[in-house]
Amino acid sequence: MLHERLQRGPRNDIPIPWLKKFEFKFRRWRVQSRTLDDLGKQFRLISPWKRSVINFATLISFTEAVRQKCGSSEGLLSVLLSPLEWIRKALIHKPSSPAPIIAPQPKISHDEDMAQRLELTATTDEAGIVSYDLSRLNAAPDAGETSAYFDPSLQTEGLNWCVDLTASDSTFTLPILLWLSVSANIIFQRTAGPPKKVAVPTKAKAQDAVSQSSELKRDETFDTDALSPEALNTLTAPAYGSKNSDKRFLGFLPPVTNLQRIQLCIVLVILGTILKIPAAIFLYWIPSLAVGAVQRRWLAAKFPLRPPIQPCRRPLRFRVKKSWSN
């Protein structure tokens, strides 16, 4: 199926060489996607993008539950975009006319503010005894509305360096651990092993193969003339890695592809936008990623992927475009 769809090589009407190569790679990706979809329908498998949507929806749902436990009245999107709040204020809240100048009020301490609010609730009975009605004690004017699912124990039963889990981690230990967990999941993805190299024939075996080539008959059932060199390279190339697949990342980590490098850069950028979220959310994300990584490693050990076989570089004397059989 894949061979039939890749018989046509790159289009010759594209004048730019790199664009011709890109068109062929894009068509190869489409052919592979269609082939995988056909196999998934045949064996009744869930497509990868559907699994990704389900996993992401589950992650967001549990994250929202933890956020409400922290007492935050803002949504998850508002928390993630809080570092970019100054851009929204600069674009939306542009004053059309000069605002009136208001004299700054002197700042008072928390104890003085509580004393003033208690004085507003004071009542004196006939005997001259002053009492305070705490039920009428209003909240502070600048205090935000807390969530109805707020759990006060999260403010006192945290970690040694971060006791209040409803606040952000000032030591940035949890964000760094999350970044390391995500990076490890990207680098140590489940892949096939390195391609098996077939033993190179010796000089004597090569001479025997050449001497026997005259006794071979051409097989007319399969003709490679319809395949371009680029399509032949695509069909016979190893399915693992690239030309630089043998080079380790940073000298000691497994080799990574260009897509994995882009993913690592995106994770590093996202890390800067989630530094101010509550620490309890980090404590949910990190174990969740760790458990998922352990499950994938167990699956890779239980059902390992078979490494592809690399074609033998046999020295042939006859023309490449011909195919022979007994």
The pLDDT assigned to 259 comes to 85
Q: Is the pLDDT of residue 165 over 80?
A: yes
Which tens digit of pLDDT belongs to each residue from 34-92?
888 888 888 887 777 788 888 888 888 888 888 888 877 666 666 666 666 667 666 66
Which pair of tokens denotes residue 108? 């008072």
Residue 149's pLDDT band, with cuts at 50, 70 and 90, is confident
DSSP state of 83: G
Higher pLDDT, 142 or 302: 302
Decide: 267 and 153 in contact? Cβ < 8 Å.
no
**CB proximity list for 118: less than 8 A, separation 6 or greater:** 132, 137
Q: Using CA atoms, how far apart are residues 254 and 92, in angstroms rounded to an integer?
A: 47
Q: pLDDT: is 222 or 133 the higher one?
A: 133
124 versus 313: the higher-pLDDT residue is 124
Kindly state the tokens that stand for 36: 């995988």
Higher pLDDT, 325 or 213: 325
Predicted confidence (pLDDT) at residue 294 exceeds the cutoff of 60: yes
User: 4: pLDDT confidence band, cut at 50, 70 and 90?
Assistant: low
- Tokens 């760094």, located at residue: 176
Q: How far apart are CA 283 and CA 27, in angstroms?
A: 43
Instruction: Examine the pLDDT at 141 and tell me if it is beyond 50.
Output: no
Q: Is the pLDDT of residue 296 over 80?
A: yes
How much of the chain, in percent, has pLDDT values that exceed 70?
52
Residue 306: predicted pLDDT: 77
**Which residue is associated with the tokens 């700042």?**
107
Buried b / exposed e along 292-319 (16+ C-beta atoms within 10 A) = ebeeeeeeeeeeeeeebebeeeeeeeee
CA distance 291 to 144: 35
Q: pLDDT, tens digit, for every residue of 82-131?
A: 666 667 666 665 555 555 555 555 666 656 776 777 777 777 777 777 77
Residue 253 above 80 pLDDT?
Answer: no
Label residue 25 left, alpha or beta by phi (over 0 means left) and psi (-120 to 50 means alpha): alpha
The residues near 75 (Cβ < 8 Å, ≥ 6 apart) are: 64, 67
- Tell me which amino acid residue 62 is: F
Which candidate, 186, 206, 198, 200, places its Cα nearest to that of 238? 198
186-239 per-position pLDDT tens digit: 887 755 455 455 444 455 544 554 454 444 444 444 444 445 555 555 555 444
- How many angstroms from the chain centroid is the CA of residue 133? 54
Return d(Cα 9, Cα 24) in angstroms, integer.
7
pLDDT-based confidence at residue 133 (cuts at 50, 70, 90): low
pTM of the model: 0.53
The CA distance from 238 to 235, in Å, is 8
Classified as helix, coil or strand, 131 is strand
